């Protein structure tokens, strides 16, 4: 199958961007009711409905959940693209519905989604609550897991723009992890099954985003839901949707998450998932923190009438304003030696930095400034 072509055909156009809440997905869910089993399986701290989508009647059961962190919406978009494909009359869509029973929670944390926060309404990180189960959303996830008894779990997240795919200078556009099930990070049959699926997804993604797939850190933390489910002997896969060049709305990344989801279904459907390729998994480069959003090099400024030349790094903060995410640029590091790579880089060539305050680049300062009093930077970017 040509997954990229399928994405173009089945992209759910009614949802897009970074801000995704119940109000955005509920009309789409209403339209899916004639094809799939749509239900409200619980309520959030703020009494918002938590929806579930059940697809297919097959023997192999896959449990997927997204927006456990409310501000991580890319994988939710890809789920709706997958739903649109599965309701089609494609032969493979019918095959998958016969082979699988897929249970999805598109937005586990609707309060966090609405507030655009990582945490829930009680300011608890649900991905650190798998032991205490102190929150209704965590309790619901665990209850659903136990009643559904899945054969595979997909834990769907976003990751920040700071990650590179290993030692490359490429962003980690998609990262995976077969979480550890014990402190020693051993590999048992359950974890190896997750590894096998990841290797298949990586092989497909390398055709489209070569050297932009990473492997997430596998330090064991039983409070994390993936580690918990893996420890309960269910093959669990962490998906991390990351940055693609110039794609801050993550519409390109969405395409590659859809591709990974589709490849995983194809692979599980066509293969007896027994891992023989641990080395291929370990060759996927581990994520490294190497990026900032913008780097400005060789900008000069005056201190006590003396000219100094420095570099500085700029990072966006994601701010919810009027139901839209705005990216506000702030200086986060200043120094002659910067180890970070910028997704965008400017060479000041020794030109003079000025701004509307003290004309010195400083940490936490809004990234609005001038170069040589002629070139204006607004929100970190040259204002043409």
Model pLDDT for residues 245-273, shown as the tens digit of each residue: 999 999 999 999 999 999 999 999 998 77
**Per-residue pLDDT, 339:** 87
Model pLDDT for residues 128-142, shown as the tens digit of each residue: 999 999 999 999 999
The secondary structure of residue 128, as a DSSP letter, is G
How does the average pLDDT of the chain come out, rounded?
97
Which residue's entry shows tokens 């979480």?
179
Residue 137 tokens read as 């959303």
Between CA 147 and CA 49 the distance in angstroms is 19
Angle at 249 between CA 245 and CA 254, to 5 degrees: 80
Between CA 103 and CA 9 the distance in angstroms is 23
Between CA 10 and CA 346 the distance in angstroms is 38
Fold of 291-382: Urease, subunit C; domain 1 (2.30.40)
The secondary structure of residue 285, as a DSSP letter, is P
Q: Where are the domains of the chain?
A: 3-289, 291-382
Model pLDDT for residues 301-319, shown as the tens digit of each residue: 999 889 999 999 999 999 9
Model pLDDT for residues 39-67, shown as the tens digit of each residue: 999 999 999 999 999 999 999 999 999 99
Give the DSSP per-residue string, 323-366. TEEEEEEEEEEEES---PEEEEEEE-TTPBEE-SSSS---TT-B
pLDDT confidence band for 276 (50 / 70 / 90): low
CATH architecture of 3-289: 3-Layer(aba) Sandwich (3.40)
Residue 260 tokens read as 């990974």
* 295 Cβ contact partners less than 8 Å away, ≥ 6 residues apart: 311, 312, 313, 314, 338, 340, 341, 342, 344, 345, 346
- In 3D space, the residue among 232, 239, 132, 131 whose CA is nearest the CA of residue 182 turns out to be 232
169-200 burial, b if ≥16 CB within 10 A, otherwise e? ebbbbbbbbbbbbeeeeebeebbbbbbbbbbb
Report residue 41: phi and psi, to 5°: -100, -5
**Per-residue pLDDT, 222:** 98
Residue 329 tokens read as 């640029």
End-to-end CA distance of the chain: 43
Beta carbons within 10 angstroms of residue 335's beta carbon = 12
């Amino acid at each position: 199958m040509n997954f990229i072509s399928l994405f173009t055909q089945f992209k759910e156009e009614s949802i897009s961007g970074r801000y995704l809440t119940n109000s955005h997905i509920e009309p789409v869910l209403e339209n899916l009711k004639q094809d799939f089993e749509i239900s409200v399986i619980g309520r959030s701290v703020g009494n918002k409905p938590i929806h579930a989508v059940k697809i297919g009647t097959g023997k192999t059961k896959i449990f997927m959940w997204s927006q456990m962190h409310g501000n991580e919406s890319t994988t939710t978009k890809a789920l709706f693209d997958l739903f649109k494909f599965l309701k089609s009359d494609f032969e493979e869509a019918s095959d998958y519905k016969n082979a699988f029973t897929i249970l999805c929670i598109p937005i586990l944390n609707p309060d966090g989604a609405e507030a655009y926060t990582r945490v829930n309404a009680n300011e608890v990180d649900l991905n650190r609550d798998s032991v205490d189960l102190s929150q209704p959303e965590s309790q619901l996830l665990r209850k659903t897991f136990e009643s559904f008894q899945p054969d595979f779990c997909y834990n769907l997240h976003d990751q920040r723009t700071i990650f590179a795919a290993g030692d490359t200078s490429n962003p980690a556009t998609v990262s995976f992890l077969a979480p550890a099930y014990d402190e020693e990070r051993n590999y048992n049959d359950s974890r190896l099954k997750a590894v096998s699926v990841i290797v298949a997804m990586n092989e497909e993604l390398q055709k489209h985003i070569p050297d932009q797939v990473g492997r997430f850190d596998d330090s064991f933390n039983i409070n994390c839901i993936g580690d918990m489910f893996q420890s309960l002997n269910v093959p669990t896969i962490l998906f991390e949707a990351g940055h693609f060049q110039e794609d801050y709305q993550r519409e390109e990344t969405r395409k590659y998450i859809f591709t990974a989801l589709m490849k995983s279904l194809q692979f599980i459907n066509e293969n007896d998932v027994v891992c023989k390729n641990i080395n291929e998994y370990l060759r996927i480069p581990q994520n490294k923190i190497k990026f900032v959003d913008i780097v400005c090099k060789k900008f000069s400024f005056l201190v006590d009438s003396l000219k100094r030349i420095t570099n500085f790094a700029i990072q966006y903060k994601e701010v919810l304003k009027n139901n839209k995410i705005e990216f506000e640029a702030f200086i986060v590091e200043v120094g002659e030696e910067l180890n970070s790579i910028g997704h965008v880089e400017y060479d000041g060539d020794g030109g003079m930095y000025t701004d509307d305050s003290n004309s010195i680049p400083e940490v936490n300062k809004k990234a609005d400034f001038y170069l040589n009093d002629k070139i204006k930077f607004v929100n970190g970017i040259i204002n043409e």
